Structure 1
Amino acid sequence: MIDVTDFLTEAPSAFREKTGEQLREHAAQALTRARRRSTTLTDAVADEDLVRQHSKLMSPLVWDLAHIGSQEELWLVRDVGGREPLRPDIDDLYDAFRHPRADRPSLPLLGPAEARRYVGEVRAKAFEVLERAPLEGSRLTEAAFAFGMITQHEQQHDETMLATHQLRKGEPALHAPAPPGARSGPLPAEVLVPAGSFLMGTSVEPWALDNERPAHEVGVGAFFIDTTPVTNGAYTEFLESGGYDQRRWWSDAGWEYRTAHDIGAPRFWRREADGWWRTRFGVDERVPAEQPVVHVSFHEAEAYAAWAGKRLPTEREWEKAARFDPATGRSRRYPWGDEEPTAEHANLGQAHLSPAAAGAYPAGASALGVHQLIGDVWEWTSSDFHGYPGFVAFPYREYSEVFFGPEYKVLRGGSFGTDAAAVRGTFRNWDYPIRRQIFAGFRCARDASGV
């Protein structure tokens, strides 16, 4: 019998073994991959689509593009590099806290050609800084943290731009191969996660953001968690049973939201004479029963869980199911182990334009046998977004701390639109519980008293 409390540890990071030049190369590759994706998302449509606001929930694509460059200039060129500002006159335009998304189309934004030129100039300066900057001596430069932070920022906006593509009208602009089907045999419906302590969060992952820190021991009671995210097929049973019309499954806030907005199915779904259909990046298709449900709010996920006789997992339950290795008592970097994600582990990076079938990534299962915890769909948890014990805002309060509180729910695991650089076993996302345009799904849990 392993006494986990005797040696609670987390996985060492591969960064610790990299030399300075290897870190520079790693950072350069990550930045380049992010920019390649930004270019794909903005070059896929005409300029008039770039400046149009496709939904008041989202910025025009051209705002996201220039904002990416503005943040890179602020942190890499000016702060780390100590260089003269390129465009101090646009700092205010691209400050996300000054201008709500709905108001951004009315601002004197850079046009598509000027925005592309600007981000190109900033990137050239950033690479000059990367070549010369000491990767030690301060928290901002240690292990190339600032470059990792900007990489993650760009990838997060790339996922936001991908969501904007889902909201735009017209012919499909993006294309990708279909995701894989199920590659594992029949899976159990749920997995038992034993009671006990584990190490949550991280103190050693160099590119981890402030809300992932520090590592801290938490105790979790025994619980069962779904082996895979809830599928469209399972969710359809909730729909067909009248789940959206039965008040008993919904919280007060959920029922108020559902009735006020006349919500009767996941976003982008519609019912036809021959069944349920959806629109996915401009393509109309039958809802695939085997894929995880996506574009559901926290309220919808919570109602489904109640209907199924379960509940949503807490954030600590989700992370224990994802990271805890009962054979060693250690918390892994990823569900499958410590190595970086590959196409065999998870559906990430916009390689496909939808979730993959449940059971499609057996190589990505956790030590406890839970599948698809990384990639496919962000997973709603029941937890509000708060800092961990010992939290310290870094490098600025506006990244995490200003969002702490009961207004936001935590999501975990990343989606098919999340890049590997912007997700790991400790990564935390958050959003309003009403959000449905994001690539969010869920899995259920239930107590296992006496186990």
Structure 2
Amino acid sequence: MHTHPGRGLNPAEAVDLLTEARARTLLLVAPIESGDLIRQHDPLMSPIVWDLGHIAHFEEVWLVESFERGPDGSEGLRGIYNPFENPRAVRDRLPLPDPPAALAYMAEVRARALVNVMRMDPGAPDPLSRDSFAVRLVLQHEYQHGETILQTLQLKQGTPYRAPRAFHHPDPVLDVDGEAMVRVPGGVYPIGTDDRSQAYDNERPAFEVELPPYRIDRAPVSNARFLRFVDEGGYEREEFWSAEGVAWLREAGARAPKHWERRGGEWWTRTFDRVAPLDPRHPVCHVCYWEAEAFARFEGKRLPTEFEWEVAAAWDPATGRTRRFPWGDESASIVLANVDQLAFGTAPIGAYPRNVSPLGCYGMIGDVWEWTSSPFEGYPGFTAFPYPEYSEVFFGNEYRVLRGGSWATRPGAVRNTFRNWDYPIRRQIFSGLRCAADD
């Protein structure tokens, strides 16, 4: 659904968006048995029942307590749903509610939140209410946890998750040369945004950066391209790997992207309940930063910085301005890009011909998050809002930035300026890459 960034939401719009977001969350978890909601399927991920309770608790903080008591009246995230006091690896040992109790908590909080939303003034001077920021904050949080839940379900133990697929990808109609690169002229370019209706604090403020000329892949790296790296011994040849990458490689014992499986001399992939031969036309998925970095070296290239990525996605030389999305300012949808979850997997490169930037880069929104070489840092003039624990506590070289969203990303949680971040070792995320090179 359209989240109408840049302006306040009227009460009916806010209620509709919150209702739709909750319906999607419940749709994703409906096929899951109670025991699988409680079970921790991998130490990297939470029990799904924790995610459900955390979604409700976050909403309680920002649409109930902060509204009723003022922005300083809430105690913030606390108890079993405080993610900093309770990291993922220990959440299965918390006194979590059973699934019916978690769902009841979600419903009870939602009823209280909707009363406040109906009275909220998007023209109020306080920054939480102004332009409906608090509503969009809660929306994006639920959207993002939906993607997190899907990551967990891809790792699910036992019987595979029966994905409720609702549509199929269109056939490729655009012949994208996966080996081609786009040249971006050197110059001074705008980065980030000053939007305060939807953008997170780490996307703000807008500023300018000077970049030398560079080249960037026209399309994300395909399975076919990555397969060459695998077949030519890329996982055994340490010359392609950084010292940190070699350490990860030795510990992980990886020989291919996660969820690739060798069967009778051919590679197969698993996506939830479907196992199929590797499709060379799709973007590679489930690679960590070290794998992406090594592949780029294998091709004689490198990973782009996040600023190079954003310029390639957003800059329009014809107008001298940036776009909110590669195709323009129209919000993301399943017509424009492979987003919004319900196809449950990547699409062949070329299936969404309008998903191209003014500079000629294809597929920069949706399908797979793309690793960049940039550590996660605040922009010049960064100010934490509405709380430091969203972005600021993660700043530093420990994390790498990913851009562009994936097939599992809701349209309201992706845009050219959106910054995701994760540890370089993470492969459970729906992540791929595109390469860059000095010009």
Which TM bucket (shorter chain)?
A: over 0.9
| 1:374 maps to which of 328, 348, 365 | 365
What is the number of residues matched between the two proteins?
430
Deviates more, 1:197-206 or 1:293-302: 197-206
- Structure 2 counterpart SS, 1:406: strand
Q: Unaligned 5+ residue runs, structure 1?
A: 1-12
Instruction: State the one-letter code of the partner of 2:173.
Output: R
Deviates more, 1:293-302 or 1:274-283: 274-283
Identity %: 47
Deviates more, 1:412-421 or 1:27-36: 27-36
Return closer, same or farther for 1:258/1:110 CA change in 2, 3 Å cut-off: same
The reply to whether residue 356 of structure 1 matches residue 354 of structure 2 is: no
Deviates more, 1:91-100 or 1:289-298: 91-100
Distance 2:385 2:77 in 1: 24
Distance 2:171 2:291 in 1: 26
The reply to whether residue 175 of structure 1 matches residue 164 of structure 2 is: yes
**Cα root mean square deviation, aligned:** 1.8
Alignment-derived partner of residue 177 in structure 2: 187
Alignment-derived partner of residue 305 in structure 1: 296
| 1:239 maps to which of 206, 230, 235 | 230
- Aligned residues of 1:15 and 1:23 also touching (Cα < 8 A): no
* TM-score, normalization by structure 1: 0.92
- Residue 90 of structure 1 deviates from its aligned partner by 9.5
Distance 1:161 1:425 in 2: 23
Q: Summarize deviations over 1:269-313 as a string: whole Å, max 9, x none.
A: 111214101221032211111000000000000000000011000
The reply to whether residue 222 of structure 1 matches residue 209 of structure 2 is: no
The reply to whether residue 133 of structure 1 matches residue 123 of structure 2 is: no
- Aligned residues of 1:24 and 1:144 also touching (Cα < 8 A): no
Instruction: State the one-letter code of the partner of 2:329.
Output: D
- Aligned residues of 1:30 and 1:421 also touching (Cα < 8 A): no
Distance 1:358 1:191 in 2: 16
Alignment-derived partner of residue 52 in structure 1: 39
- Aligned residues of 2:31 and 2:161 also touching (Cα < 8 A): no
Alignment-derived partner of residue 274 in structure 2: 283
* TM-score, normalization by structure 2: 0.95
Distance 1:88 1:60 in 2: 24
- Residue 184 of structure 1 deviates from its aligned partner by 0.8
Alignment-derived partner of residue 10 in structure 1: none
Instruction: State the one-letter code of the partner of 1:77.
Output: V
Distance 1:186 1:384 in 2: 30
Instruction: State the one-letter code of the partner of 2:140.
Output: Q
- Aligned residues of 1:143 and 1:206 also touching (Cα < 8 A): yes
Alignment-derived partner of residue 153 in structure 1: 141
- Residue 205 of structure 1 deviates from its aligned partner by 5.1
Return closer, same or farther for 1:333/1:186 CA change in 2, 3 Å cut-off: closer
- Aligned residues of 1:198 and 1:329 also touching (Cα < 8 A): no
Q: Summarize deviations over 1:128-159 as a string: whole Å, max 9, x none.
A: 11110121211111110011011111111110
- Residue 233 of structure 1 deviates from its aligned partner by 0.9
Distance 2:413 2:379 in 1: 20
Alignment-derived partner of residue 365 in structure 1: 356
Instruction: State the one-letter code of the partner of 1:137.
Output: P
Distance 2:375 2:428 in 1: 20
Alignment-derived partner of residue 388 in structure 1: 379
- Aligned residues of 1:312 and 1:382 also touching (Cα < 8 A): yes
Instruction: State the one-letter code of the partner of 1:54.
Output: H
Distance 1:187 1:128 in 2: 52
Distance 1:29 1:371 in 2: 32
- Aligned residues of 2:28 and 2:164 also touching (Cα < 8 A): no
Q: Summarize deviations over 1:212-251 as a string: whole Å, max 9, x none.
A: 0000011111111111100011100100000100010000
- Aligned residues of 1:145 and 1:206 also touching (Cα < 8 A): yes
- Residue 337 of structure 1 deviates from its aligned partner by 0.6
Distance 2:220 2:436 in 1: 11
Alignment-derived partner of residue 73 in structure 1: 60
- Aligned residues of 2:220 and 2:363 also touching (Cα < 8 A): yes
Distance 1:193 1:251 in 2: 27
Alignment-derived partner of residue 418 in structure 2: 427
Deviates more, 1:344-353 or 1:169-178: 169-178
- Structure 2 counterpart SS, 1:270: strand
The reply to whether residue 206 of structure 1 matches residue 197 of structure 2 is: yes
Distance 1:276 1:30 in 2: 41
Distance 1:292 1:212 in 2: 26
The reply to whether residue 112 of structure 1 matches residue 102 of structure 2 is: no
- Residue 78 of structure 1 deviates from its aligned partner by 0.6
Return closer, same or farther for 1:88/1:45 CA change in 2, 3 Å cut-off: farther
